[in-house]
Amino acid sequence: MRGPAPALYGPGVRDSSLSPRFPRPPRSAAPSPLPSRRSLLALCAAAPVAAVTAGHPASAASPTAAATGTARAGTTGMTGTTASTRSAAVIGGERLARTGVQVRAAARLPAKLSARAWLLADWASGEVLASYRAHERLAPASTLKMLFADTVLKKFDRTARHTVTAAELADIPSGSSLVGIQAGITYTVEQLWQGVFLRSGNDAVHVLAHMNGGVEQTVAEMQARAEDLQALDTHVVSPDGFDHPGQISSAYDLTLFARHGLRNADFRGYCATRTADFPAGGRKTFQIQNTDRLLTGSWGLKPYDGMIGVKNGYTTNAGNTFTGAAVRGGRTLVATVMHPENGANAVYEETAALLDWGFAQGSSAQAVGTLVEPLSEGGAPAGGAPGSRAAGAGSGTGTGAAASAGDAGPSTWRLVEGAGGTAALLAGGVWALRRRRAAARAAARAGTGGRHRR
């Protein structure tokens, strides 16, 4: 059953067809991901105690003990762990763990889909209409800012004012995309978020992160938020999506972030804003434009009919990533495309092709999986009891609309149920994971991150 389409604009946003141009530096090797929470929890599941793993993707599709995605032509050294390496229940349905294209429709999918992973879903129902390597872990680039916004956006009133300090700009990675924030200038929270969504400014992200208690605290909150959303392919190292060893996500998780974010009016308004006037000091301003080419039209692309955002990204290691949402005829679709082979426009062209296909299919494209609901909003843990939302996902039945944010639900950390022995094993696994995360952050501070991002 389809719900209403999200409104295009929130308060205080503007509409324009202008768009910036950015150079595209060459790609380089991506960092290998850290061992995941799933591998640690698998140890718990193997213990001789009465325990059930809840909330972790897995695959029954492949008997292989391990598999890694290898680089396609022109993406030297990019590595991602596929969902086929996992065992047990899969978040969103077992078909989403398979490595081939997953679709249930008579009409063929677009022919030229070169991306390493992609997913198309119905925003209202959560039905996944088609996917390819939905749970493959890849570098997310700036699309991770969707999770940052979903975590921090509600904490500050958009009219609140903040004077930026030099310390808040001191830890921005070299080579970052910037909106042009300057120490000593006072900005509204709305302007800072415009810098995040329109120009993908890492300077705006870091100022907001410091307002939130610091980068480290914000990263921890983003990780907890990802786990609450059941986006367990995601490991957060920095709040801005910049290349760091172990910073990964997946097409499935990015679509979860977009879907939940679009339920917030401010999130919708910011990601749909085409231009805004940004402070330059004194009474001076300069115009900033959204870098989403399907929203504004640029670099030879036309604005996509019905496009409402959400977020694009590029880094040297990640390549191009994009999650886009569009509404037609009262129906909203969300598509995520990660790391296509050819050119800066390919990520947009392939997203548009998937959206066109989805709108053309109407109700004939049956679901191959589902986008699960957050645990804190009543979502059932993946791999839960028969008849639960997650357990039924693989049957091709989509979930209903989301529970309201005020609904009581399971705790964020409700990952494992069972005897006390399982809890002890889990605690040991978490301790080991934290050591690995600390090592990753130390490596990032040593200058191992990638260059140039947006």
Which residues are known to be catalytic?
A: 142, 145, 200
Nearest to 350 by CA among 118, 25, 143, 72: 118
SS3 of 387-409:
CCCCCCHHHCCCCCCCCCCCCCC
- C-alpha span between 261 and 252 (Å, rounded): 14
Longest Cα separation, the chain: 68
Cα dihedral 9/12/18/23 (nearest 10) = -90
**Start-end of H helices in 237-304:** 251-261, 265-271, 293-296
Q: How many Å apart are CA 52 and CA 41, to the nearest integer? A: 10
Q: CA angle 253-169-179, nearest 5°?
A: 65
DSSP of 311-353, one letter per residue? EEEEETTTEEEEEEEEEETTEEEEEEEE--SS-TTHHHHHHHH
d(CA 251, CA 233): 9
What phi and psi values does residue 52 have, to the nearest 5 degrees? -130, 125
N-to-C CA span, the chain: 36
Burial annotation 403-433 (CB, 10 A radius, 16+ → b, else e): eeeeeebbebeebbebeeebeebbeebeeeb
> Based on C-alpha coordinates, what's the Rg of the chain?
21
Distance CA 98, CA 128 (A): 14
Q: How many CB atoms lie within 10 A of CB 344?
A: 16
Cα separation of 405 and 291, whole Å? Answer: 30
Q: Six-digit token pair at 120?
A: 């198309």
